[in-house]
Structure 1
Amino acid sequence: MKPVSDLLFTFSPETQPRVSYQRCLAKELDLEESWLRDAIFFNPELVIEPCRAAGLTEDEWYAWQREFQVETGQIDVMLLSSQGRVAIVETKLATNPEIRRRVLAQVLDYLVHLADSFDEKLPEIPKDADGQPVADVEDILESVTQGDVLVIIASDEINPRVAKLSQSLLSRHFTQQWDLALIDIALYRPLDAKDEYLVVPHLRNVVQSELRQVVRVVVEGESPRARVEVERITRDVGSTSRRQKWDEERFFRYLEESNVPQAVRELAARLRDLAHRYPETLTLSWGTGKSGSMVVKRNGGGLIEIYGSGEIRFRPEKFPRALGEKAAARYFQKLKELAPEAMGMSYPRLSPVQSEEVAPMLFELIRNILSDIGQG
């Protein structure tokens, strides 16, 4: 993946585009690595949104720990997803010589020792707006034990050597489920001193796990009557994995077999059918969590997320991409009327009980909004 442009342009409907921002390094702004670490801790979407766009996650993510101590050092930032998946984020400025090569060994070292640190003491789990833990302890411990971790290296400028090494050395040698993302946190200074600086996160490289079966072969005797014994070393990556790839058939089978309210199951089915009617613009994506999720998207922007637990969630920041500014504003306002308390949260979510109450109205709302913009 190519670096982001060194120049950014602005324009208005009445004027031609003009260069307004120029890329710079953190050092030029007298920023330390602690600034980058804190920026990600207080704004996890700086690194999560590029990962989400690459298909590495569909979950909500929460800041968890800064400078978390493991046996071999400190993890700069730890994030936690709503499905119990952990992300470890290592921050390095472009001027730090470790960004060239050593950083890969560093994050792998942290990954190896993370489970041991959790065995000693699990950090307090962050709480949502309702005061409830954002994830279950069992899910967290299971994901870490299985190596199901999102590893992120973030820098104001990722060194090209790191991107090449990560792909050539790591992509074909996985025996666990962790994924690696290299993210540029590109900084831009304004050419007009009156403007604010810009931060543009950009995915430079991603290495996804390609799990293989590892075995030990023991040959006793000589050909052609030798006895061959094959012992499996790695676990079966089939049904025992908590982060399996969900699809339509599996998700709806799970809904039918679980205690999800009937109204939520019907909402999911009706939205699925609606997406099938408009495959050019309406798409469905499926989560990777323990109970899976269905995300209804239009033009790549999410409209609604239905989880196998019966929860319904929304990402209002995605509405304009899906619907355009005006329709997105109407959609958000109607959602606030249906569920004012939930839509006041940073990450709006409805409990299974709340979802059951509003599910029929949600479908009508989505259908009407789509109809207003000439679809549905």
Structure 2
Amino acid sequence: MKAIGTPVIVSADGASHLEQISLTQNEHYDERWLQELIFKNPSLLPMDQIEPGLGELIPVCMELPLRCGYLDNLFLTPDGDIVIVEVKLWRNPEMRRAVLAQALDYASALFSMSYEELDAAVRKADGANGRTMFEIADGPETLEEPDFIDALINRLKTGRIVVIVAGDGIRGELEKLVEQLQTHAGFRFTFALVELALFHADDDRWLVVPRTLAKTYRIERGVIRLEGDGVSASFEPAPAPRASSSTRSVSPEAKTISSDIFYDAMRGIDADLPRQINEMLSKVETYGVYPEFSKSLLIRMALPNGDVAHLGFIERSGTVWFSEPETKLPSHDAIDRFFAELAAQYGWAREGIPGNEKLTSQGKRPKVAELVQGSAGFVAAMRSLSDHLRSTE
């Protein structure tokens, strides 16, 4: 059973408890109020726990007209990623059962839309302003308009979006249903349940505590059927499009939208790169080395003391970074040994001064093809680093 304690504000004048607000028993703070709160403050959504590789959420519109109803909140990112949010309070037991199917209906409706159709729906929801998606999302970090549109078209075509159900108190039966979806082979999109606990500080301030209660990856486009009054569900997959061997995923690690996009970028460089990268990484798992996906593939190492070391990263462009201060290890001696071993194994140069050093190949950052082709050297360097860290523990 989950429980949230009452937050206490401590100051020089003493301590005071905050008042938790129950939206299900409050006429003023209702579902619409929560919908607007999330729309105006997208940072309330714990995206670092759901899809850490996505950029900052940009509020696009509320009440987006779709063929099956009106979607509560639509967000985009500067890179053209799509996040949809359905907000529900849990007053009605029937709504608890229907909310998952409703959110999936909205996702399915988006998948069936072209870019032009979605843009027209956004302009309609934007009211008198009638702005396009690019006009709403445009900013210093936003892709150029042709690239932004291409990214959106790709997300709609592949179904790579994030679907979030957010509420004031997620019930156990909904968590169990989402967990059941995890057992099915997925397609592309990420689904998450987010619970928001709200506490009133004063007239102008709120404390909001978001929690990701359940998350499942790559739900396949299909039909979810809720049966009876329980939480049983059957899954009827939609017919999958034919895929050639060149477009079929070869990456067992590609479980998130961020990893999908990364491996697609690698496949654009060389169709065999995803397999080579995964093969290389599988050989260093025994040393605690693992990938973490953001806008790049981050190379991490679990340390004997429970901390995590940051070793380097591979950009979607294929450029490899091993440099300070990006490389973070317990001591400069460990970094020095690590860089020396990589340089020796690959014939790379060490440029810069201690504290601001980088590894280069013929005067430039190494490329991922060079890294995987010399994977035996990568494995040797990780083994040497692991041995050194254990010996100095």
2:153 aligned to 107, 131, 141, which one? Answer: 141
Matched, 1:185 2:196: yes
2: CA distance, partners of 1:42 / 1:65 = 10
What is the TM-score normalised by the length of structure 2?
Answer: 0.53
Give 1:59's aligned residue.
54
Q: Deviations over 1:217-273 (max 9, x none)?
A: xxxxxxxxxxxxxxx9555597637994688xx88x959969xxxxxxxxxxxxxxx
- Which residue type is aligned with residue 32 of structure 2? S
Per-residue deviation, 1:97: 4.7
Per-residue deviation, 1:172: 2.4
2: CA distance, partners of 1:194 / 1:114 = 38
Give 1:346's aligned residue.
none
C-alpha distance 98-133 of structure 1, shift in aligned 2 (>3 A): farther
Q: What is the DSSP-based 3-state SS (H/G/I as helix, E as strand, rest coil) of the residue aligned with 2:177?
A: helix
| Structure 1 unpaired stretches of 5+ | 213-231, 259-275, 312-321, 323-358, 367-376
2:187 aligned to 171, 176, 179, which one? Answer: 176
CA contact (8 A) 2:10 2:16 kept: no
Q: Deviations over 1:81-129 (max 9, x none)?
A: 3443311110112335554111111111111111333355232221123
CA contact (8 A) 1:70 1:117 kept: no
C-alpha distance 177-239 of structure 1, shift in aligned 2 (>3 A): farther
CA contact (8 A) 1:172 1:210 kept: no
- Which residue type is aligned with residue 160 of structure 1? G
Map 1:1-376 → 2, pairs under 5 A = 3-11=2-10, 20-26=17-23, 27-28=25-26, 30-47=28-45, 49=46, 51-54=47-50, 56-63=51-58, 64-97=60-93, 99-123=95-119, 124-125=133-134, 126-129=137-140, 133=144, 136-168=148-180, 170-190=181-201, 196-209=205-218, 233=240, 235=242, 240=247, 244=254, 285-287=292-294, 292-294=296-298, 307-309=315-317, 364=356
C-alpha distance 30-211 of structure 1, shift in aligned 2 (>3 A): closer
CA contact (8 A) 2:78 2:142 kept: no
Q: What is the DSSP-based 3-state SS (H/G/I as helix, E as strand, rest coil) of the residue aligned with 2:80?
A: coil
2: CA distance, partners of 1:240 / 1:67 = 35
Q: What is the DSSP-based 3-state SS (H/G/I as helix, E as strand, rest coil) of the residue aligned with 1:101?
A: helix
What is the TM-score normalised by the length of structure 1?
Answer: 0.56
1: CA distance, partners of 2:219 / 2:244 = 11
Q: Deviations over 1:23-58 (max 9, x none)?
A: 3222437112222222222222211x2x4225x332
Name the % identity.
23
Q: Which runs of 4+ in 1 moved over 6 A?
A: 295-302
- Which residue type is aligned with residue 28 of structure 2? D
Q: What is the DSSP-based 3-state SS (H/G/I as helix, E as strand, rest coil) of the residue aligned with 1:208?
A: strand
C-alpha distance 61-109 of structure 1, shift in aligned 2 (>3 A): same
Q: What is the DSSP-based 3-state SS (H/G/I as helix, E as strand, rest coil) of the residue aligned with 1:184?
A: strand
C-alpha distance 184-210 of structure 1, shift in aligned 2 (>3 A): closer
CA contact (8 A) 2:187 2:220 kept: yes
- Which residue type is aligned with residue 37 of structure 2? A
CA contact (8 A) 2:115 2:152 kept: no
CA contact (8 A) 2:61 2:75 kept: yes
| Structure 2 unpaired stretches of 5+ | 120-132, 222-238, 271-283, 320-327, 329-350, 359-393
RMSD: 4.9
2: CA distance, partners of 1:181 / 1:19 = 33
C-alpha distance 300-257 of structure 1, shift in aligned 2 (>3 A): same
Per-residue deviation, 1:173: 3.1
2: CA distance, partners of 1:129 / 1:237 = 38
CA contact (8 A) 2:191 2:219 kept: no
C-alpha distance 196-61 of structure 1, shift in aligned 2 (>3 A): closer
Q: What is the DSSP-based 3-state SS (H/G/I as helix, E as strand, rest coil) of the residue aligned with 1:198?
A: strand
2: CA distance, partners of 1:199 / 1:102 = 26
1: CA distance, partners of 2:151 / 2:203 = 48
Per-residue deviation, 1:137: 1.8
CA contact (8 A) 2:185 2:220 kept: yes
Per-residue deviation, 1:11: 4.2
